[in-house]
Structure 1
Amino acid sequence: MKFASRAGTRRAAVIFLSVATLGLLAGCGDGEKKSETKAAVDAVSVFETPVTAKSLVEPVIGTGTIAAAKTTELGPRVNGIIDKVYVYVGARVKEGDPLFHTRDIEIKNRVAELENQVKLAEAEVRNTGRAYGRSNELHDKGFVSNGGLDNAQAARDAAKARLGIAQAQFASAKQALEDCTVRAPYDGVVTRRDVDEGKFMSVMSGMGMMSGGEGGGGGSGGGVMQIMKIDIVAAIVQVPEVDLQKIHVGSKGKVIIGSMGESFDSEVYILNDLIDVKTRGVELRLPILNPDYKIKPGLFARAEIYPEPRKVLSLERSAVQGTESQRYVFVAGNGVAKRTPITMRQIDATTVEVLSGLKAGDTALTGPNLALIVDGTPVKVETIAASAIDANTTAR
């Protein structure tokens, strides 16, 4: 009986020790699992965005005004009273159409007078020519001296010279008569009319530049009217001189006219070599076809000129941290975040150009938890697909 009791006691002790050992082992396993779980909880979930090499075209912006292809201030070509004005402001005219007329009665009389003077000079040339011919025949027979022959020749030559003068004066008078009617130098529109019939105009006063005109308070007495060629117009815009090296004659562009709600494809046709010292701007001209005349000179215009594309390294703006003078990103390395300084330039609201600090193919950390990260923070890089699955699971 004593032997059986001792054996039972030993079995109970062995069982107790086994249970205790298993408890200790179980306790150790739980501790390791809790440690691993804690480490997993401490890692911040983030995403990665790549640094990408791409071609970038950044438009050069200029503002200015629509101008006519040609603008001409028209005044009288002869002195006199303007007795007829054939057109009004807004009239469409063709090349050669009459625009206005100067009274020509005095010039017509002068033309008639000079025409008769030409006839007299022609008769004198004929007479002196015949006289010289007879003198030359008689000189050969010895009846006219050398001096007589010279006099006859001089009279003939003088008559020819007087005829030349009369013909030149007659031609000038006929031209003046034709110039009484001023005609359109090209197809265009009348954009200003400065005088009405009855005003005396001189050629010199008609050379003055005008302002105002019909419907605009009247002119200042200089010209008669203004005509513009607008079947082709041009956007005359200024761009900053710092952009001069990006553009050239032939650079493609677009002209936007906000008041019309339209844009027109064009290109740089003229690049002014003179820099405006006040605005530090460069003048460009971009032509636009305008066959229906719907684009009016004087409209405000904005131009976008597209230079040749250049290679850049782009990165999402959301990955960039820091201040203007000290920009940086975080990159993942060995499961922790590493702060990396960069220099950058803004491309648009969502993208920056990386100038230094990263290369093509590198990745930077981003995501809603980016504000929780400092240098050395444990991170867990998520994928977009995994994030979407987690979000759906949470929603359920």
Structure 2
Amino acid sequence: MKKLVLAAGCVALALLCVGVLVRLRAGAPGEPVHAGPSRPLSREPGQPSAPPPVEGFTGVVVNRDTVDVAARVEGLVTEVRVRLGDRVTRNALLAQLDDHQAKSELEVARATLSVTRADEEKAVLEHQEAQERNGRNQKAASLRGDALSQEELAAARYQEQYAASRLSAARARVQEQQARVAQLEQRIHDEAIRAPFDGVVTARYVDPGASVSRGAPVVRLVSSEELWVRFAVPEEQGPGLATGLPVEVRIKELGLAIPGLVEKISPEVDAASRMIIAEARLTLPAAQQPPGLSGRAVRVHPAQHSTAQPTP
């Protein structure tokens, strides 16, 4: 009898243990079930992924036009009229080369041109006279038969041809001297080094008394009207960038926030850096541009919610 009671107790204890295990696996009613780490939902094939948000980019402020104004001819620098930081206008005289010799040669060439023109006028009159004489002889010979000898008619024709050749030579000398005058005038013009556009002098390479060769830089000039920012965009953020997108260039050191618009975007990704180069035109009047702005590294912040559309 005792053995039956003991066996029944063991069975009851086993059933109790099984129930506890089931309860632990399923969770008790009203209690949350703790699930394991979840996996991200897989994207359906063909569904485009959203581009990452466009953030600030590192860029550099540049002037639209930067040029080393060079000497067009070889010569001695007699004057440099600008210094570092000077603002100049288009065609303003930057430097002057010695032009005394060219001016002296130009005076001689102009005087010679006057003489050759006088010779040309004389040759024109001689040619007209020879033409008229030959014409009269031909008319007289046709009216009076053999009134004039063949020698006289031939002499008149030859005289006309000779006058025509002298006229052609006189005109050639005039053209040659005109070319000489134009050449000297161009040389004098080139010896005056002038600004090709409105800008600011950022470098002065020579001083008065220096001898320069053709093509040697004299002054560096940057345009003061247009400022641009050139910046690099990672290729994965390229879809968030478009022409016409408003941007803001922030310079903490100067306390500036300069607005602008993206106008140019490179059509290809740089193979080495995997970056897309873009340029934006900045809106900042020349009078408000602080010194040293060009070439400064800045942070470019495109608008996050712009309705700008790509320009065709």
2:234 matched to 1:201? no
State whether structure 2 residue 164 is matched by structure 1 residue 169. no
Distance in 2, matches of 1:191 and 1:226, equals 6
Q: Give the 4+ runs in structure 1 shifted more than 6 A.
A: 307-310
Identify the match of residue 164 of structure 2 among 144, 153, 156: 153
Q: Partners of 2:51 and 2:259 in 1: how far apart?
A: 20
Per the alignment, residue 302 of structure 2 pairs with: 305
Considering fraction of residues, name the structure with more strand: 1
Q: Which has the higher contact order (CA 8 A, sep 6+)?
A: 2
2:290 pairs with 1:294: yes
Distance in 1 separating the partners of 2:166 and 2:305: 77
| Alignment partners' CA distance in 2, 1:285 and 1:259 | 22
| Aligned residue pairs, count | 245
Asked if structure 2 preserves the Cα contact closer than 8 Å seen for 1:256 and 1:262, the reply is yes
Query: What is the match of residue 97 of structure 1?
Result: 92
Find the aligned partners of 2:74 and 2:297 in 1 and give their Cα distance.
39
Q: Which one-letter code corresponds to 2:299 in the other structure?
A: R
Query: How far off its partner does 1:302 sit?
Result: 1.7
From 67, 80, 87, the equivalent of 1:72 is 67
Name stretches of at least 5 consecutive residues in structure 1 with no aligned partner: 1-37, 45-54, 207-222, 311-396
C-alpha offsets along residues 205-262 of structure 1, whole Å, 9 cap, x if unaligned?
x1xxxxxxxxxxxxxxxx1110111232101111112333332322222222233232
Q: In structure 1, how many angstroms separate the alpha carbons of the residues matched to 2:72 and 2:56?
A: 44
Considering only CA atoms, is the larger Rg found in Structure 1 or Structure 2? Answer: 1
Corresponding residue for 2:24?
none
The aligned counterpart of 1:385 is none
Query: Is residue 248 of structure 1 aligned with residue 245 of structure 2?
Result: no
- Deviations along 1:345-389, one digit per CA (max 9) or x if unpaired, are xxxxxxxxxxxxxxxxxxxxxxxxxxxxxxxxxxxxxxxxxxxxx
The 5-angstrom pairing of residues 98-117 of structure 1 reads 98-117=93-112
* Equivalent residue letter for 1:235: V
Q: Deviations over 1:299-322 (max 9, x none)?
A: 111212347679xxxxxxxxxxxx
Distance 1:107 1:60 in 2: 60
| Other-structure match for 1:120 | 115
Question: Which of 261, 271, 276 is equivalent to 1:282?
Answer: 276
Whole-Å Cα distance in 1 between the matches of residues 180 and 284 of structure 2?
A: 45
Q: Tell me, which stretches of 5 or more residues in structure 2 are unaligned? A: 1-27, 34-49, 138-152, 308-312
Asked if structure 2 preserves the Cα contact closer than 8 Å seen for 1:188 and 1:228, the reply is yes
1:163-204 deviations in Å (ceiling 9; x for gaps): 112112101211211222212222211000111111111113
Q: Percent identity?
A: 22
Query: What is the RMSD computed on CA atoms of the aligned residues?
Result: 2.6
Q: CA shift at 1:128, angstroms?
A: 0.9
Q: Give the counterpart letter for 1:172 in structure 2.
A: Q
